[in-house]
Chains A and B, each alone.
Chain A
Amino acid sequence: MDVQRFIQERRPGWQRLERLIEQAEASPDWELGKDRLQELLRLYRQACADLNQARSYTANPALLGRLNDLVGRGYRFVYRRRHGERMQKALARFFRFEVPRTFRLEKSAILAASAAFLLGTLFGFGAVILNPASGERLIPPEFFTEGPRERVERIEQGRERIDTAEEAMHFGVSLYTHNIQVSFLAFSLGATTILGGLWILFYNGVILGAIFAMYLLDGVTTFFLAWVGPHGALELPAIVFGGAAGLRAGHALLLPGDQSRASSLRQAFPSVWRMMAAAAAVLVMAGLIEGSFSQFSAKTVPYSLKIGVAAVLFGSLLGYLFFRRLPEESA
């Protein structure tokens, strides 16, 4: 084969293909029109044939490299999955059907993650009730800046928290980012080691249980519930969901059974990512609540109302995920 002539003959087709792909990547299919799309397909197949032919007759790395890139680019366009489904529609379907269905399907992972978290809570709670001094050892220093009672007094006697930027930032934002980290870390460690994910869940349960016990011992339980409740009702489930997604992924990766690891992971993937996406969405909602509603003190919003809101939030989250009757998907 005369490489020189081959290149001269085919080059116009390749260049045309490249231009078409560029246009196609920049604009939706309908704008390109049927004729040009069909021309693109024809030129793509020709380029495939050219690459095969070039491979068998020459080792010229530059020619092969260019053709390889061109065919790769065409392949990426021709066989891509998404041909412009409206994002809104996809999102609606995702939250209406896919997320609740996944959570029902993956009950065992959710239960395992919740169990690890609750066991941790019980452990932390019990340890502090039995020996109040152990609280200081169980709770990391960043949460343990002041005793419960001093804090209640400071917050209730101080100005409205929502007006003081510094404090709102200190507690709102730092806990918020902390919980995101914990949720994602529980996922990552669960996905790679299972036990690591369980440990993160357990440990964060311990912290929660220990803090709760300390407020209980100081007799300020209502304050605790009102202060943590509204956002905690969403944030703690988000941590558990993240952990559960990690457990599911870890199970697929480490205990694939008689499947290959790759195929087992591929099978678990839809569940895993839906649980993660739900966790992220819940975290965003929790963050918004934490920054605003949770920061009101008893002077503005009575504790009972705050605790009530927390209960409603938690109840509707569980109801949405596990108990709502799912409509038919045809909608």
Chain B
Amino acid sequence: MRDLRHRLILTPEQVEVRLAPAGAGSRFLALIVDGLIALSLSVFLGQLLMPLLPAGLGYALWATLNFVISWGYHVYFETYQDGRSPGKRLLGLRVVDGRGLPVAFQQAFVRNVMRILDGVPAFYALGALVCQLDGDGRRLGDLAADTLVVRERRSAEATRELARSLEQSSLRTPRLLRLLGRRLGLEEREFLLDLSLRAAEMEPKARFDLMEEVAAHYRQRLEIEGKGLSGENLVRGLTALLFWDRRGEHRGALAARMV
């Protein structure tokens, strides 16, 4: 669970905070969502204005509104919604300035004007290329405005859900509890937790294969006989033993995730 790329911010309290730069893919998806929202907004306004005003004036007003919406949309959300447009919110992204603070109006303005160059020749090809080359995944607009897009971790909600589902485990035997403590290192324990947390996002076939493979490893490590349990149930059961004790307390890394 190490973030390979991150930017370090030193707060005035002398604490390092790590920001995880977002990838080009999720940013592009967020952009599509935002584009659709802005487009439907201007089509809606167009339908509203056209019948009310004389044609020429209606078009002129609509074109101007269109201009304001398509360029103002991102600027508004990045400035007044703390760096998150609806699309970015959906994908867990946020625009922050180079020091990890909220972007100022000025910065939002410049980074969005530069979209016209980042979008060259089509589909943000230049922006995506620059994004790959830059260590913090910034496109040209981000470089000019000293901003970056960071991804935010999933909320603790998914973890809480998992914790609730872990309350029962048929594996709870004194022998296994003892072996778990002795034979599994920190990494092997946390791997189980991460796997359980991410299982819901996996494609079914890949999920099944991975679970069986992992289960085989832990069966061997812990000398669990018999194949009564499916791979996934074994993984979940072990996770429950490790991170959920009998008094209903979360333990170790699971507790930490629910901070």
Contact = CB atoms under 8 A, between A and B. Distances in A.
A176 B63 contact: yes
B217 interface: no
Chain A: interface secondary structure?
helix
Given A63-B259, A72-B19, A188-B114, A163 B55 contact: yes
Nearest to A293: B60
Interface in A17-71: 25, 45, 48-49, 51-52, 55, 59-63, 65-71
A63 B140 CA distance: 34
A262 B113 CA distance: 19
Contacts of A81: 101-102, 104
A163 B56 contact: yes
Nearest to A75: B11
Contact of A79 (B12, B56, B253, B256): B12
B190 A61 contact: yes
Contacts, number: 181
Contact of A291 (B2, B13, B61, B110): B61
B1 A65 contact: yes
Contacts of B145: 269
A268 to B, nearest CB: 10
B125 to A, nearest CB: 14
Interface stretch (A7-15, A138-146, A149-157): A7-15
B181 interface: no
Interface stretch (A111-119, A178-186, A308-316, A321-329): A178-186
Interface in B2-16: 2, 9, 11-16
A161 interface: yes
B100 interface: yes
Interface in B147-170: 152-153, 156
A4 B255 contact: yes
B56 A249 contact: no
B106 A270 contact: yes
A284 B64 contact: yes
B53 to A, nearest CB: 10
B96 interface: yes
Given A68-B17, A168-B55, 9 more contacts: A60-B253, A66-B257, A81-B101, A81-B102, A162-B54, A169-B59, A177-B67, A184-B116, A284-B64
Interface of B: 1-2, 9, 11-19, 54-61, 63-64, 67-68, 71, 82, 96, 100-102, 104, 106-107, 109-110, 113-114, 116-117, 140, 144-146, 152-153, 156, 186, 190, 193, 251-257, 259
23 contacts: A48-B15, A51-B15, A52-B15, A55-B16, A60-B253, A61-B2, A62-B1, A63-B253, A67-B259, A75-B17, A168-B60, A172-B56, A172-B63, A176-B64, A177-B63, A177-B67, A188-B140, A262-B146, A280-B71, A288-B61, A291-B56, A291-B60, A292-B56
